[in-house]
């Protein structure tokens, strides 16, 4: 029988077991490397790495020697983490999914990796990214349907968690590169408020938007790691009454495919039956204008971020990235500045609209639909676009499937800086949807007897 490619492992369970010594770290590394060797050739989530086993064994010995007693072990003791290949890790080269010569992109280890290692984590390896976290896809396949894209640009990170290679992976989002691949791969993606995790040590795409995020099997995993990575985490700030859920009606939602919208409406109906208040608000009447303003900033900053490398190695860049850089070279600095002023005004209007409607969380599809067939594209980031533009925290919860069995995601968006509350309130949404699904499955089972 063919081995299943989808078997995500809950981070909370794995972390608890490793802290207790079950399994011991040498056995854990043996199993991890055997799994990567067996499964990764089918999905290509990790950047190939000669000597991975020896490196991980050395890491494990160091961590075990530092924390010999279970009671003193940190939260991620021994947990294997995949790190997107635009994030610098000491001892591993950074290629950014590109053909640039080795060493050109080198830099000091990223702050986010420092924090992971301080929490006891092992870096399992670099995960595949679209070239420079833009749109030229890597070789990663969707574990649910290997003929379909896993999404981008954090493709390898999402696929590695979905396939159970690691229980935690790090990605980045400029527009939709955490939320969309999480939805396509059926895992939880968490994109904190812009700037909440320091971006130092990460190859830039568009610094006004670039945000580090996480992939885990479930929301409990995201809640475990967020306080370890985010600046100024405030325990207990998630306590609140049942959240009021807002739906941004209008041209924004019209970008979703019919199947995704049907699933979204079904989820809203289930949440209403569970006692949540759902309010529909016309939020982005000029969505095309928002898109133009974001693109002006994104393209300008992409061109500026790559000015030196592109001048020296432009012939090695892939056509999709070249097109984005060339477009950015044609954007005036004044147009970028005007777009950023527009963002400030938009943020004020969205905050005012949410306050007037009493909305605590905004809900939307995480992507336009299920993962597209083929590996030539990473899919459409449009459903994340306004929230990334505004720097709001967001997460994607697995929420149903298409008729073809492709995962769909529910996007849950909070207020800027309200990451603690977003995770706490989204847990109530996740629980209500799970209870509704279990109830429906029970009824169907009884009806089938």
Spell out the SS3 assignment of the chain. CCCCCCCCCCHHHHHHHHHCCCCCHHHHHHHHHHHHHHHHHHHCCECCCCCHHHHHHHHHHHHHHHCCCHHHCCCCCCCEEEEECCECECCECCCCCCCCCCCCCCCCCCHHHHHHHHCCCEEEEEECCCHHHCCCCCCCCCCCCCCECCCCCCHHHHHHHHCCCCCEEEEEECCCCCHHHHHHHCCEEEECCCCCCCCCCECCCCCCCCEEEEEECCHHHHHHHHHHHCCCCCCCCCCCCCCEEEEEECCCHHHCCHHHHHHHHHHHHHHHHCCCEEEEEECCCCHHHHHHHHHHHHHHHHHHHCHHHHHHHHHHCCHHHHHHHHHHHCCCHHHHHHHHHHHHHHHHHHHHHHHHHCCCEEEEECCCCCCCEECCCCCCCHHHHHHHHHCCCEEEEEEEECCCCCEEEEEEECCCCCHHHHHHHHHHHHHHHHHHHHHHHHHHHHHHC
pLDDT digits (tens, 9 = 90+) for 371-401: 999 999 999 999 999 999 999 999 999 999 9
126 annotated active-site: no
Q: Is the pLDDT of residue 446 over 90?
A: no
Nearest-angstrom CA–CA distance, 311 and 44: 30
Q: How confident is the model at residue 235 (pLDDT cuts 50, 70, 90)?
A: confident
Nearest-angstrom CA–CA distance, 8 and 181: 15
Q: Are 246 and 363 in contact (CB under 8 A)?
A: yes
**Per-residue pLDDT at 240:** 66
Q: Is the pLDDT of residue 180 over 90?
A: yes
Q: How confident is the model at residue 436 (pLDDT cuts 50, 70, 90)?
A: confident
The backbone region for 78, taken as left when phi is positive above 0, alpha when psi lies in -120 to 50, beta otherwise, is: left
**Per-residue pLDDT at 1:** 31
Nearest-angstrom CA–CA distance, 321 and 136: 6
Q: Are 6 and 162 in contact (CB under 8 A)?
A: yes
Q: Is the pLDDT of residue 280 over 90?
A: yes
Rounded mean pLDDT, 157-178: 98
Q: Are 150 and 184 in contact (CB under 8 A)?
A: yes
Q: How confident is the model at residue 133 (pLDDT cuts 50, 70, 90)?
A: very high
Kindly name the residue from 84, 126, 135, 154 that is annotated as catalytic.
Answer: 84
Rounded mean pLDDT, 90-112: 97
CA distances from 436 to 275, 414, 430 (A): 12, 23, 10
Among 277, 268, 214, 243, CA closest to 424: 243
Work out the burial of residue 158: count CB atoms within 10 Å of its CB; fewer than 13 is exposed, 13-18 middle, 19 or more buried: buried
**Per-residue pLDDT at 401:** 95
The backbone region for 336, taken as left when phi is positive above 0, alpha when psi lies in -120 to 50, beta otherwise, is: alpha
Kindly name the residue from 98, 135, 153, 208 that is annotated as catalytic.
Answer: 153
Q: Is the pLDDT of residue 194 over 80?
A: yes
**Per-residue pLDDT at 102:** 84
pLDDT digits (tens, 9 = 90+) for 28-82: 999 999 999 999 999 999 999 999 999 999 999 999 999 999 999 999 999 999 9
Q: Is the pLDDT of residue 443 over 90?
A: no
pLDDT digits (tens, 9 = 90+) for 289-316: 999 999 999 999 999 999 999 999 999 9
Q: Is the pLDDT of residue 442 over 90?
A: no
Nearest-angstrom CA–CA distance, 433 and 430: 5
Q: How confident is the model at residue 241 (pLDDT cuts 50, 70, 90)?
A: confident
Q: Is the pLDDT of residue 2 over 70?
A: no
Exposure of 198 in the CB half-sphere (CA atoms within 13 A): 14
Task: Round the average pLDDT of the chain to a whole number and report it.
Answer: 96
Share of the chain above pLDDT 70, in %: 96
pLDDT digits (tens, 9 = 90+) for 311-361: 999 999 999 999 999 999 999 999 999 999 999 999 999 999 999 999 999
Kindly name the residue from 98, 135, 157, 177 that is annotated as catalytic.
Answer: 177
Nearest-angstrom CA–CA distance, 199 and 367: 25
**Per-residue pLDDT at 318:** 98
pTM above 0.95, yes or no: yes
Among 368, 400, 372, CA closest to 384: 368
177 annotated active-site: yes
**Per-residue pLDDT at 386:** 98
Q: Is the pLDDT of residue 239 over 70?
A: no
């Amino acid at each position: 029988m063919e081995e299943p490619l989808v078997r995500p492992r809950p981070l909370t369970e794995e972390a608890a077991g490793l802290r207790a010594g079950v399994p011991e770290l040498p056995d854990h590394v043996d199993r991890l490397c055997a799994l990567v060797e067996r499964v990764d050739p089918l999905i290509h989530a990790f950047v190939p790495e000669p000597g991975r086993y020896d490196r991980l064994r050395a890491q494990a010995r160091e961590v075990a020697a530092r924390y010999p007693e279970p009671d003193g072990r940190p939260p991620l003791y021994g947990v294997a983490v995949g790190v997107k290949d635009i994030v610098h890790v000491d001892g591993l080269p950074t290629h950014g999914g590109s053909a640039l010569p080795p060493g050109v992109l080198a830099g000091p280890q990223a702050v986010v990796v420092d924090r992971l290692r301080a929490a006891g984590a092992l870096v399992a390896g670099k995960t595949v990214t679209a070239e420079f976290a833009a749109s030229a896809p890597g070789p990663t396949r969707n574990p649910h349907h290997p003929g379909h894209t896993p999404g981008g640009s954090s493709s390898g990170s999402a696929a590695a968690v979905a396939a159970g290679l690691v229980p935690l992976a790090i990605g980045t989002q400029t527009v939709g590169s955490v939320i969309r691949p999480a939805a396509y791969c059926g895992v939880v993606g968490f994109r904190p408020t812009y700037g909440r995790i320091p971006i130092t040590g990460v190859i830039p795409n568009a610094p006004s938007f670039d945000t580090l995020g996480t992939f885990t099997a479930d929301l409990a995993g995201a809640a475990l790691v967020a306080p370890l990575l985010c600046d100024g985490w405030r325990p207990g700030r998630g306590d609140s009454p049942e959240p009021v859920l807002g739906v941004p009606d209008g041209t924004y939602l019209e970008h979703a495919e019919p199947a995704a919208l049907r699933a979204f409406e079904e989820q809203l109906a289930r949440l209403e039956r569970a006692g949540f208040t759902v309010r529909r608000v016309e939020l982005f009447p000029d969505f095309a204008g928002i898109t133009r303003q974001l693109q002006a900033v994104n393209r300008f900053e992409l061109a500026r971020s790559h000015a030196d490398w592109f001048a020296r190695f432009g012939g090695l860049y892939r056509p999709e990235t070249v097109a984005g850089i060339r477009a950015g070279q044609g954007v005036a600095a004044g147009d970028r500045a005007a777009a950023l002023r527009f963002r400030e005004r938009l943020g004020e209007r969205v905050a005012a609209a949410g306050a007037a409607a009493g909305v605590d969380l905004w809900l939307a599809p995480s992507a336009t639909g299920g993962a597209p067939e083929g590996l030539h594209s990473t899919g459409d980031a449009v459903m994340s676009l306004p929230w990334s533009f505004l720097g709001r925290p967001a997460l994607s919860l697995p929420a149903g499937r298409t008729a073809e069995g492709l995962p769909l995601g529910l996007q849950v968006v909070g207020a800027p800086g309200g990451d603690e509350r977003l995770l706490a309130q989204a847990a109530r949404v996740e629980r209500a949807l799970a209870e509704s699904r279990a109830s429906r499955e029970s009824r169907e089972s009884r009806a089938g007897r």
